[in-house]
Amino acid sequence: MGIKPIKPGSICFQDLRMTLQELEGQFISVRLSESCEIIQGRIFRVDEGKLILVGVFGTRIIPICSISSIDYGPFAYATNFSDNTVTVINTATNTVFDLIPVETSPFFLAITPDGSRAYVTHFSDIISVISTVTNTVLTTISLSDDGSLNSNGIAISPDGLRAYTANLNGTVSVINTATNTLLTTISLGSDGVGAFGIAVTPDGSRVYTANFLGTVSVIDTATNTLLTTISLTPLDFGPLDIAITPDGSLAYTTNFSDNSVSVINTDTNTVLTTISLFSDGIGPDRVAITPDGSRVYTTNDLNSTVSVISTVTNTVLTTIFLGEKVFPEGIAITPDGSRAYITSGEKGLIVINTATNTVIGSPIDLGNMFGPTAIAITPFTL
């Protein structure tokens, strides 16, 4: 990830052209050598000496020899709940790249596996669909007619064909991402009321929701029906979020009221163990797992910390203090696993080095400091 400068005097369309070809289909920005103009968009095609870029300006053909540097992210998208915007952050430079106006109260979001779109819930019955090529809203999707859903977490299937929202009224909405229409609504029953966090298994066969009243619901995606409900003991744990390991074997829930994390065996759909975060992790909110599956990171809202858990031993490795009155919420980890990005309604965006488990620099000002709640990062394969 990052910025690739072009050395003066180099044969510009050899190593640069190869890099651009590897990035084909991804969102980048390029700086032109003569004018210092910066152009952003998604790579449509790389010809012998030309880059064809599609963005807000339409289609532009750029001579490769005119490019002084390319910036290929990946890019993070953060929802600003009170400001009705989504901020785009370039993780290569940790700077704000764009600010996208959206519907009222954007809450959670998820990005498609190909990185082309972001789906945003609004703690209502509306989903906004953002094009990451143009950083504009493509369309909005209505999930019901009566405003009763209050959608929270959202997750997208590994094949990118379905989006699933966890709804506070105890349902899950299933969206066809090809047509951006509602396919069906799945009832979780009375035990699923308070559905908040949601995750899809890596093979796409099941969806898990964390329900604040103390349960986890398991959905069969082939039939879009409820398979089973897992009870956490005691029921007042208050699970808020859930994440699944890359191998699909374990699911981890943050239990806000119990200052703990539950570990679920997804083969048997039973609770393996409950990890206490002790007094260092008060009010665990969101959860993310490193791409190699070795560690779990939880944001602890009430004492401004992040807990780091080993998935091998299911014990707390360390607790990271983020600073006074940070109140961390959302968390996402870069595709290479090197950094964790954390939203704070008070501070903006905080970055953690996952190798040292320390905070990097000062918080990033998101441009409008109005309650950033969730964050997602585009995939990156170069």
Euclidean distance between CA atoms 368 and 83, whole angstroms:
7
Euclidean distance between CA atoms 184 and 173, whole angstroms:
6
Greater model confidence, 160 or 99:
160
Euclidean distance between CA atoms 13 and 65, whole angstroms:
6
Half-sphere exposure of 10 (CA within 13 A, CB side): 16
Q: pLDDT class for 7, splitting at 50, 70, 90?
A: very low
Bridging pattern class, strands 117-121 and 126-131: antiparallel
Q: Is the pLDDT reported for residue 236 higher than 90? A: no
Q: pLDDT class for 370, splitting at 50, 70, 90?
A: low
| 235 touches 190 (CB < 8 A) | no
Looking at residue 127, its pLDDT comes to: 97
Q: Is there a common fold for 3-71 and 75-377?
A: no
Arithmetic mean of pLDDT, 243-254: 98
Arithmetic mean of pLDDT, 203-212: 98
Looking at residue 58, its pLDDT comes to: 81
96-125 confidence digits (pLDDT tens): 878 899 999 999 999 999 988 999 999 889
Q: 181 is written with which tokens?
A: 């229409």
Of 336, 330, 347, nearest to 92 (Cα)? Answer: 336
Euclidean distance between CA atoms 256 and 362, whole angstroms:
27
Query: Which residue has tokens 């679920």?
Result: 264
Percent of the chain topping pLDDT 90: 70
Q: Is the pLDDT reported for residue 10 higher than 50? A: no
Q: pLDDT class for 135, splitting at 50, 70, 90?
A: confident
User: What would the DSSP string read from start to end of 303-320?
Assistant: TTEEEEEETTTTEEEEEE
Looking at residue 18, its pLDDT comes to: 85
Q: What is the mean pLDDT of the chain?
A: 90
Euclidean distance between CA atoms 59 and 281, whole angstroms:
49
What residues does each domain of the chain span? Answer: 3-71, 75-377
Question: Hey, which of 4-13, 78-87, 244-253 has the most confident mean pLDDT?
Answer: 244-253
Q: Does domain 75-377 have CATH number 2.130.10.10?
A: yes
Q: pLDDT class for 33, splitting at 50, 70, 90?
A: confident
Q: Is the pLDDT reported for residue 50 higher than 70? A: yes
Measure the CA angle with vertex 208, ends 257 and 244; round to 5°.
Answer: 85
Q: pLDDT class for 133, splitting at 50, 70, 90?
A: confident
From 2.30.30.100, 1.10.1740.110, 3.90.78.10, 1.10.645.10, which CATH number describes the 3-71 domain? 2.30.30.100
68-104 confidence digits (pLDDT tens): 888 777 899 999 998 899 999 988 888 887 889 999 9
Looking at residue 24, its pLDDT comes to: 85
Q: 285 is written with which tokens?
A: 């909110």
Euclidean distance between CA atoms 48 and 43, whole angstroms:
14
Q: Is the pLDDT reported for residue 304 higher than 70? A: yes
Looking at residue 218, its pLDDT comes to: 98
E strand or H helix at 86: strand 85-90
